């Protein structure tokens, strides 16, 4: 091999070495940058609660239709975050955990499903589906958080409900339903189980109250 060919071969090998060697630190830098992209981190654990399926068998079977307005809530509860209180006037939230939907939307969904599960009502649905209604149920989620005022966390659920007769839009009943359920431990799974129990008890009372309060009014019209 001539000197010229040898020199050309060395130059080609050197260029290839520099090209591939330069890729090693670049790949490392790219991997590091990916880990630093804002917003990337561990996904939160998401929790859902269950509708009520057992009711007093003596509930009346009603011939009327019910529409549920979107459940209202203040800004501290109108979120997917799971709320807690360690101070009377301060709301906090569990880290890396949340509800599958905003709390008021989740509650409205569970209420609709619970009414359906009674098997006692002709039709029930959200306001958005355009169902012709004989009554409208207005609900407000006033308390939906864990209280850490004692040694063991206690879940507090309070929902205010109003029944509005249509088409006159007359309020025929108003009541607040509340439950306090002590969690078995301070672990999040136990706290969520307490939420499920507390909301279930409130839902049962609210559904039964609605059916027994509105039906006599409907029959008298």
In the block, residue with structure tokens 């439950």? 179
pLDDT digits (tens, 9 = 90+) for 158-216: 999 999 999 999 999 999 999 999 999 999 999 999 999 999 999 999 999 999 999 99
Q: Which of 7-21, 112-126, 154-168 has the lowest mean pLDDT?
A: 7-21
Question: 43: pLDDT confidence band, cut at 50, 70 and 90?
Answer: confident
pLDDT digits (tens, 9 = 90+) for 56-111: 999 999 999 999 999 999 999 999 999 999 998 999 999 999 999 999 999 999 99
Distance CA 105, CA 115 (A): 16
3-state SS, residue 17: helix
pLDDT at position 23 over 70: no
Cα dist from 132 to 16, 66, 127, 196, whole Å = 76, 8, 9, 31
DSSP H helices in the chain: 3-35, 103-118, 188-220
Question: 14: pLDDT confidence band, cut at 50, 70 and 90?
Answer: very low
Return the closest-CA partner of residue 124 out of 211, 19, 27.
211
The predicted structure's pLDDT at residue 41: 64
One-letter-per-residue 3-state SS of 31-53? HHHHHCCCCCCCCCEEECCCCCC
The gap from C-alpha 169 to its chain's centroid, in whole angstroms, comes to 30
Question: What is the dihedral angle through the alpha carbons of 181, 183, 184, 187, rounded to the nearest 10 degrees?
Answer: 170
The better pLDDT of the pair 71, 33 is held by 71
Question: 40: pLDDT confidence band, cut at 50, 70 and 90?
Answer: low
The predicted structure's pLDDT at residue 129: 74
Distance CA 62, CA 198 (A): 27
């Amino acid at each position: 091999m001539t000197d010229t060919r040898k020199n050309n071969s060395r130059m080609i090998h050197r260029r290839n070495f520099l090209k591939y060697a330069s890729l090693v630190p670049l790949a490392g830098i790219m991997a590091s940058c990916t880990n630093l992209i804002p917003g990337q981190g561990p996904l939160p654990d998401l929790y859902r609660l269950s509708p009520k399926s057992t009711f007093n068998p003596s509930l009346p079977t009603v011939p009327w239709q019910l529409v549920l307005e979107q459940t209202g809530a203040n800004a501290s509860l109108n979120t997917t975050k799971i709320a807690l209180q360690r101070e009377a006037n301060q709301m906090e939230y569990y880290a890396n955990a949340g509800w599958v939907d905003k709390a008021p939307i989740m509650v409205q969904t569970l209420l609709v499903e619970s009414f359906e599960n009674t098997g006692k009502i002709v039709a029930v649905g959200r306001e958005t589906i355009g169902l012709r209604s004989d009554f409208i149920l207005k609900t407000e989620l006033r308390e939906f958080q864990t209280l850490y005022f004692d040694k063991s966390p206690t879940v507090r659920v309070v929902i205010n409900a109003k029944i509005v007769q249509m088409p006159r839009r007359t309020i025929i009943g108003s009541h607040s339903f509340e439950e306090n359920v002590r969690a078995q431990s301070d672990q999040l799974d136990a706290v969520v189980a307490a939420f499920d129990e507390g909301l279930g008890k409130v839902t049962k009372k609210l559904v039964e109250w609605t059916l027994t309060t509105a039906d006599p009014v409907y029959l008298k019209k």
